[in-house]
Amino acid sequence: MTTLKMTVNTYNRKSRINPEIYGSFSEHLGRCIYEGIYVGENSKIPNTNGIRNDVVAALKAIKLPVLRWPGGCFADEYHWKDGIGDRAKRKKMVNSHWGGLVEDNSFGTHEFFELCEQVGCEPYITGNLGSGTVAEMSEWIEYITFDGLSPMALERRKNGREDPWKLRYFGVGNENWGCGGNMRPEFYADQYRRYATYCREYSGNRLYKVACGPDTADYDWTDKIMANIKKDMSAISLHCYSWFSEKRACELTLENCVNLIAKSRNMEKLIKGHKEIMAKYDPEHKVRIAVDEWGTWYKTEEGTNPRFLYQQSTMCDAMVAAGTLDIFNRNSDIVSMANIAQTVNVLQAVLLTEGENMIKTPTYHVFDMYKDHQGNTLLDTFCENEKLEMNDTVYACSQSASINEKGEVFVTMSNCSADKPFDIDIELIGKEAGEISAKILASDDYLAHNSFDRPDAVKISEYTKIRETGKGMLVTLPPCSIAAIKVK
Ligand code: AHR
């Protein structure tokens, strides 16, 4: 078996891995919010105030740190005042972007904050810059955060919420180069300046304002946004999907999977490319990148509405997730947040539901295995690597490591080769390899996935193929596997 040398240097401590890198995104799209998260108080499906108990428990278990809502493209068509007050009287609208369904607005601001409170995560709201007014955006923030006597705070109280909520993350529009108004960057930058001015900080609430950043490699957008928005912006977003629109998740060939993984690995080049442009205007990198939409995007499952974006999620998706999270960790000096698209029943979902049943996808298990990086300090790592025979732009292994306040080291790794195992000879610099524990997610099939008939076909196991070496440890990484190792 090929042995690859790897070093984890505990003397070389780098950036903090913001927990928010492990965030998610839930849009009013298909069966994500309705059915997937919100079933209403009268549903037979066990719920608390209308929110599914199984979904909340699953999201708590991965320590979901932040949830982005209500879109996506939906955000720039959403009028928040339609989603407050007596549910029976709420105005209905047509969700024209996502299948023309009638949106009854039964899940609105109060329900979203209830969801975040139940999960224990930060809310991240995207405001409507595309078709909403400055006053509307401004009043939403007043409604949510104002503690004193104001028209919006009184309205909130009338609707049953006495205390204001805390709201840190706020997106000033979504994809305004596309579904959010088809704007030119200069025009959006001016709009941002205007809208953001009235996103006030009430009652001690501090906002982290996210401007609409580029689609994938649109470096010109980044340049013009950075050149024209000089202040009042904490981060710019980056959206990047790994597409394979001709086939469904479980129809991919091995070559298709490898090509998809290759696309997803491009994330590192994109982050560095945008960071370099941002440095021209902001050499200290006060403005960060929020990758607030990322993941795989396939042809939708047979028999489902194509605008609902429902897809299965396989071990190939797990490989994409592991490699991408390793990239975010390694670039946590600039990436302050990331939100996989999406949480339930849409695109690279971590959870799928069918009636009262819920399953965890292989991607969910990756988030579960990687959660211990949250809030840790990134460590310098180096790993010898081998390119895949099938696509020489892709390295077989990915890795990242971090250290927590107790001095425990946490290493995550993946091997995306379909047939080649590796021994990874890890040298731990500056730390004795004390008690070691490890978990693995592995399969001999890239297309392995969980279904409602076989919900645990792919699951995490304890891993014991690790041996102390004196300088560190030797880990056998099987083909198509992801490992998480903790060293106390
Ligand atoms: O996540 C699905 C859609 O992808 C979002 O609504 C939009 O922002 C992006 O194009």
- 175 catalytic? Reply is yes
Mean pLDDT of 413-435: 95
Mean pLDDT of 373-395: 95
Mean pLDDT of 198-220: 97
In CATH, which of 3.90.1150.10, 3.20.20.80, 3.40.50.1100, 3.90.1300.10 is domain 18-374?
Answer: 3.20.20.80
Ligand 1 atom nearest to 175, measured from its CA: 8
Ligand 1 atom nearest to 75, measured from its CA: 6
Please give the pLDDT value at position 420. 95
Ligand 1 atom nearest to 293, measured from its CA: 1
Give, using CA atoms, the residue closest to atom 2 of ligand 1: 72
Please give the pLDDT value at position 53. 98
For 305, phi and psi rounded to 5 degrees?
-65, 120
CB contact burial 208-229 (16+ within 10 A = b; e otherwise) = bbbbbbbbeebeebbbbbbebb
**What separation in Å is there between the alpha carbon of 263 and the centre of ligand 1?**
18
Mean pLDDT of 189-209: 97
Ligand 1 atom nearest to 97, measured from its CA: 6
* Amino acid, single-letter form, for residue 402: S
- Measured torsion, CA atoms of residues 136, 216, 310, 450, in degrees rounded to the nearest 10: -130
**What separation in Å is there between the alpha carbon of 75 and the centre of ligand 1?**
10
Residue labelled with tokens 């298909």: 30
Pocket test for ligand 1, best of 78, 179, 215 (most atoms within 8 A of CB): 179
Please give the pLDDT value at position 396. 95
Q: Is 77 in the pocket of ligand 1 (CB under 6 A)?
A: no
- Measured torsion, CA atoms of residues 258, 20, 328, 472, in degrees rounded to the nearest 10: -100
Pocket test for ligand 1, best of 175, 215, 216, 347 (most atoms within 8 A of CB): 175
Ramachandran quadrant class, 16 (left: phi over 0; alpha: psi -120 to 50; beta: rest):
beta
Give, using CA atoms, the residue closest to atom 4 of ligand 1: 72
Please give the pLDDT value at position 217. 98
CATH architecture for the domain at 2-11+379-487: Sandwich (2.60)
Please give the pLDDT value at position 434. 84
HSE, side-chain direction, 13 A CA sphere, residue 324: 34
Closest by CA position to 285, among listed 334, 330, 328, 219:
334
Look over the chain and give the mean of its residue pLDDT values, rounded to a whole number: 97
For 27, phi and psi rounded to 5 degrees?
-115, 160
- pLDDT tens digits for 53-89? 999 999 999 999 999 999 999 999 999 999 999 999 9
| Cis-peptide, bond into residue 399, ω within 30° of zero | no
CB contact burial 335-344 (16+ within 10 A = b; e otherwise) = bbbbbbbbbb
- pLDDT tens digits for 92-143? 999 999 999 999 999 999 999 999 999 999 999 999 999 999 999 999 999 9
Distance, in Å, from the CA atom of 457 to the CA atom of 450, rounded to the nearest integer, reads: 5
pTM beyond 0.95, yes or no = yes
Say if residues 448 and 316 touch (Cβ distance below 8 Å): no
Q: What percentage of the chain has pLDDT greater than the value 90? A: 99
Query: Of 175, 246, 276, 408, which one is the catalytic site residue?
Result: 175
Ligand 1 atom nearest to 71, measured from its CA: 6
**What separation in Å is there between the alpha carbon of 73 and the centre of ligand 1?**
6
Give the pair of three-digit tokens for residue 309: 């974006």
**What separation in Å is there between the alpha carbon of 453 and the centre of ligand 1?**
30
- pLDDT tens digits for 222-271? 999 999 999 999 999 999 999 999 999 999 999 999 999 999 999 999 99
Query: Of 268, 293, 356, 408, which one is the catalytic site residue?
Result: 293
**What separation in Å is there between the alpha carbon of 99 and the centre of ligand 1?**
13
Say if residues 350 and 62 touch (Cβ distance below 8 Å): yes
Q: Is 175 in the pocket of ligand 1 (CB under 6 A)?
A: yes
**What separation in Å is there between the alpha carbon of 111 and the centre of ligand 1?**
22
Residue labelled with tokens 């993984």: 261
Q: Is 174 in the pocket of ligand 1 (CB under 6 A)?
A: yes
**What separation in Å is there between the alpha carbon of 72 and the centre of ligand 1?**
5
Pocket test for ligand 1, best of 24, 27, 340 (most atoms within 8 A of CB): 27
* Amino acid, single-letter form, for residue 236: I
Q: Is 436 in the pocket of ligand 1 (CB under 6 A)?
A: no
**What separation in Å is there between the alpha carbon of 382 and the centre of ligand 1?**
35
- pLDDT tens digits for 315-350? 999 999 999 999 999 999 999 999 999 999 999 999
Q: Is 55 in the pocket of ligand 1 (CB under 6 A)?
A: no
Please give the pLDDT value at position 433. 83
Domain range annotation of the chain: 2-11+379-487, 18-374
- pLDDT tens digits for 145-175? 999 999 999 999 999 999 999 999 999 999 9
